[in-house]
């Protein structure tokens, strides 16, 4: 009834002549009188609010990890509720469904991470920077666009104090090769340093020199003889938005996983090992682990110290490039290389 009354009121306003307007007014009076004569209907009880069901990625993104530098010009980790990914991202991360721990597992603010503190003799040059740990010298690099300020600050600290032995906050970067018997190589990405005037921090309190925090998937990979903790990109809305706009090679580079070789002889769960003879649903369980480890320079491997939390079956949300996206990126890079070569030949 109220909808009809409102419609009549609108017709009165738009009436083109007095006769038409009078007719609508009479009809309005009649409808209003009929409405007054009807007893009011009992108020309808409010229906219970429906729970908002978040996707697995949304659940994981509701507990955002602390910021970490990106490997490209993509956004760092940031808080914000994650939306459902587009089909483009679904193709890129079809293997990366993450969820919160189930009810029978310990609840933790889990996220992927690989960071630590090393102390060594630092050599900084524009051509190549290194850090010496024991008798081994390792490449030390930084992200030119986003993390050069850490490099410049470290350089100034060495010049001011005259001390080239520094405590560095780093990400370990492991380069694996296609042949399993070919040993991997270790490098470190500079995040920051603990200088002479540095105040206490959570990381500094948690870790000693040579110690690292690792959170990731405990598994074997085909190109490494050691089991690894695989650190993937944490999922959040800001990164999702950036990935939608990026080119395939940028996506693959940004979502590249880091496989950290770890000696953990008495691990409470076995590292996942893919069995090509079994179907997907028959494969062994992959566990998400959170541990402290120390780096062994003489072996280029990490050694387990302790667990921060018990292993859980379901990992937090992450981003991972699919085989399809990797193939697309390779195609783009190959085409660009051919174009560059042809241009060079013409010149």
The pLDDT tens digits for 1-21 are 566 666 667 666 666 666 556
Percent of residues, the chain, with pLDDT higher than 70: 67
Q: What is the mean pLDDT of residues 261-276?
A: 96
pLDDT at residue 41, as a whole number: 38
User: Closest Cα to residue 285, out of 322, 314, 321?
Assistant: 314
pLDDT at residue 122, as a whole number: 97
Higher-pLDDT residue of 256 and 71 is: 256
Q: What is the mean pLDDT of residues 37-57?
A: 35
| CB neighbour list of residue 220: distance below 8 Å, 6 or more residues apart | 227, 228, 271, 272, 273, 274
Higher-pLDDT residue of 215 and 37 is: 215
How big is the chain, counted in residues? 347
Q: Considering the chain, what is the average pLDDT of its residues? A: 77
Q: What is the mean pLDDT of residues 75-100?
A: 32
Low-confidence winner among 132-141, 151-160, 197-206, 260-269 (lowest mean pLDDT): 197-206
In whole angstroms, how large is the CA radius of gyration of the chain?
Answer: 30
Q: What is the pTM of this model?
A: 0.68
Residue 76: pLDDT over 70: no
Q: Pick the most confident of 49-53, 100-104, 188-192.
A: 188-192
Percent of residues, the chain, with pLDDT higher than 90: 48
CB 301 within 8 A of CB 342: no
pLDDT at residue 112, as a whole number: 97
Low-confidence winner among 186-190, 231-235, 331-335 (lowest mean pLDDT): 331-335
Distance CA 212, CA 258 (A): 14
pLDDT at residue 73, as a whole number: 35
Cα angle: 333, vertex 336, 339; to 5 degrees: 150
pLDDT at residue 146, as a whole number: 62
pLDDT level of residue 85 (50, 70, 90 thresholds): very low
Residue 130: pLDDT over 80: yes
pLDDT level of residue 184 (50, 70, 90 thresholds): very high
pLDDT at residue 204, as a whole number: 82
Cα angle: 51, vertex 56, 62; to 5 degrees: 75
pLDDT at residue 21, as a whole number: 61
pLDDT at residue 337, as a whole number: 84
Low-confidence winner among 111-125, 231-245, 300-314 (lowest mean pLDDT): 231-245
Q: Pick the most confident of 28-42, 86-100, 178-192.
A: 178-192
CB 318 within 8 A of CB 98: yes
Distance CA 241, CA 288 (A): 26
Higher-pLDDT residue of 273 and 64 is: 273
Q: Give tens-digit pLDDT for 275-325.
A: 999 999 999 999 999 999 999 998 999 999 999 999 999 999 999 988 898
| CB neighbour list of residue 91: distance below 8 Å, 6 or more residues apart | 322, 324, 325
Higher-pLDDT residue of 23 and 163 is: 163
């Amino acid at each position: 009834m109220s909808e009809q009354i409102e419609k009549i009121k609108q017709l009165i306003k738009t009436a083109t002549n007095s006769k038409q307007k009078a007719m609508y007014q009479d009809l309005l009076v009649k409808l209003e009188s009929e409405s007054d004569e009807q007893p009011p209907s009992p108020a309808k009880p409010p229906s219970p609010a429906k729970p908002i069901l978040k996707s697995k990625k949304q659940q994981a993104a509701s507990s955002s990890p602390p910021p970490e530098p990106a490997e490209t010009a993509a956004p760092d980790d940031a808080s914000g509720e994650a939306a459902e990914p587009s089909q483009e991202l679904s193709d890129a991360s079809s293997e990366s469904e993450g969820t919160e721990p189930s009810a029978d597992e310990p609840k933790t603010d889990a996220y992927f991470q690989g960071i630590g503190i090393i102390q060594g003799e630092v050599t900084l040059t524009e051509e190549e920077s290194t850090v010496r740990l024991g008798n081994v010298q390792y490449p030390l690099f930084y992200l030119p666009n986003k993390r050069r300020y850490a490099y410049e600050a470290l350089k100034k600290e060495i010049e001011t104090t005259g001390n080239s032995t520094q405590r560095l906050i780093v990400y370990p970067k492991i380069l694996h090769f296609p042949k399993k018997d070919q040993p991997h190589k270790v490098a470190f990405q500079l995040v920051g340093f603990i200088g002479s005037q540095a105040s206490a921090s959570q990381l500094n309190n948690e870790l000693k020199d040579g110690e690292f925090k690792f959170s990731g998937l405990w598994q074997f990979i085909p190109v490494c003889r050691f089991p690894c903790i695989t650190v993937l990109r944490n999922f959040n809305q800001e990164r999702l938005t950036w990935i939608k706009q990026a080119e395939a090679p940028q996506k693959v580079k940004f979502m590249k996983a880091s496989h950290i070789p770890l000696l953990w002889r008495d691990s409470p769960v076995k590292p996942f090992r893919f069995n090509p003879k079994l179907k997907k649903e028959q494969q062994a369980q992959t566990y998400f682990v959170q541990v402290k480890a120390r780096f062994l320079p003489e072996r280029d491997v990490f050694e387990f110290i302790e667990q921060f939390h018990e292993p859980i079956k379901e990992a937090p949300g992450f981003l991972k490039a699919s085989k399809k996206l990797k193939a697309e990126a390779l195609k783009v890079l190959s085409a660009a290389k051919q174009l560059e070569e042809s241009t060079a030949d013409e010149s």
